[in-house]
Amino acid sequence: MADTPQTAPAVKPANPNFSSGPCAKRPGWTVEALANALVGRSHRSKPGKARIQRAIDLTRELLDVPADYRIGIVPASDTGAVEMFLWSALGARGVDMLAWESFGAGWVTDVSKQLKLDDVRVIDAPYGELPDLAQVDFDRDVVFTWNGTTSGVRVANGDWIAADRKGLTICDATSAAFAQNLDFAKLDVVTFSWQKALGGEAAHGVLILSPRAVERLESFKPDRPLPKIFRLTKGGKLLEEVFQAATINTPSMICIEDAIDAMEWGKTVGGLKGMQARADANFKVLADWVAKTDWVDFLAKNPANRSNTSVCLSIVDPAVTALAADQQAAFAKAIVSRLDKSGVAYDIGAYKDAPSGLRIWAGSTVEASDLAALTPWLDYAFAEELKALTAAAA
């Protein structure tokens, strides 16, 4: 570390919200953005359905979703969207499950231990790395996360996915959507939640289906009971109304309005390319800082696979790495706590199942100037905790 700060920096981030979900609201957001939310009205009323349809239409426009793909708003956040399809459509052929962090591992548990499918292959990797994508068999269904939210490791593109695949590709894109290039030609099912890259409100998921995914739903009948909240077909046909603004259960019209507001903002900053450029610029602020800072490094080993949204960092100072694992975790938590109490950065600790360290959201709703103001505070907090560690050992 070039210059160890002796005193607290003078400038704090204007917005200290760096949580990886729910993430920072778009710049300039106030509760007045929700003033026109259709509260007290039925979501099945004509104006209610119009607002839901507006959210769907903006999703298609901003993400550049192909015209023949269906988009639906479903319950239970990204988790609900993923599980809805897994329970409804897996079992028609073998499944390859890719896992390199906790959420991918969670889908493995669902498929192996809850659905109890017979032909399941798990292709995994430790935190900080990607599995060997060359092992994937696209004659089988494939389930994977595009961006590992808890590891900061993403796939760089969709080139590894076979264009002539026989199976379906089922992609949890919750911390990638709106910030990374999703190759829809290679994706049959895409899911995300508003609470990530849009900084929206929680509890709702978005489910995007290709024609091939629809064909699977209409041709395959699972030999397991499906709760109503998971049912996407009736009489062997897709419930088209789910993808035409008639949600399976009652959505929050406040959340709908908030998602619309976030996507309307996205259009003002240049649409998808503008939102991606903001996330890339934010990541660069952190990458430039990491490059000149010797006490920290990226958890993701390969620069090509480093997330530009959920940036996961390891503390690599020898005085810290020499500690036992629980002591390393306590050191990282002390940095997080110090910054929280100072009103500088909220919720930047590593995910509970991930290696100890820091996780800083850098998606497009975050301002680069706030990240630039944060980095001196990170150095300061580290230096203060290192002094405390040294004093305790004396």
Same domain, 39 and 69: yes
Q: Which residues contact 218 (CB under 8 A, 6 or more apart)?
A: 233, 236, 237, 238
Q: Which residues contact 237 (CB under 8 A, 6 or more apart)?
A: 218
Same domain, 69 and 202: yes
| Domain with 310 in it | 270-393
- SS3 for 166-205, per residue? CCCEEEECCCCCCCCCCCHHHCCEEEEECCCCCCCCCCEE
Q: Which residues contact 305 (CB under 8 A, 6 or more apart)?
A: 130, 153, 154, 155, 156
Which domain CATH number covers 251?
3.40.640.10
User: Which pLDDT tens digit goes with each residue over 259-301?
Assistant: 999 999 999 999 999 999 999 999 999 999 999 999 999 999 9
Residue with tokens 């990607």: 130
Residue 133 lies in a domain: yes
Residue 11 lies in a domain: no
Same domain, 291 and 224: no
Q: What is the mean pLDDT of residues 184-203?
A: 97
Q: Give the model's confidence band at 5: pLDDT under 50 very low, under 70 low, under 90 confident, else very high.
A: confident
Of 249, 176, 158, 251, give the one whose Cα is nearest residue 20: 176
pTM of the entire predicted model: 0.97
How far is residue 202's CA from residue 221's CA, in Å, rounded to a whole number?
31
Residue 77, class by beta-carbon neighbours within 10 Å (0-12 exposed, 13-18 middle, 19+ buried)? buried
User: Which pLDDT tens digit goes with each residue over 9-21?
Assistant: 999 999 999 999 9
Tokens of 34: 């929700």
Q: Which residues contact 96 (CB under 8 A, 6 or more apart)?
A: 121, 123, 135, 136, 137, 140, 141, 142, 143, 167
Q: What is the mean pLDDT of residues 299-321?
A: 98
User: Which pLDDT tens digit goes with each residue over 42-70?
Assistant: 999 999 999 999 999 999 999 999 999 99
How far is residue 364's CA from residue 283's CA, in Å, rounded to a whole number?
10
Residue 10 lies in a domain: no
Domain boundary among 249, 266, 283: 266
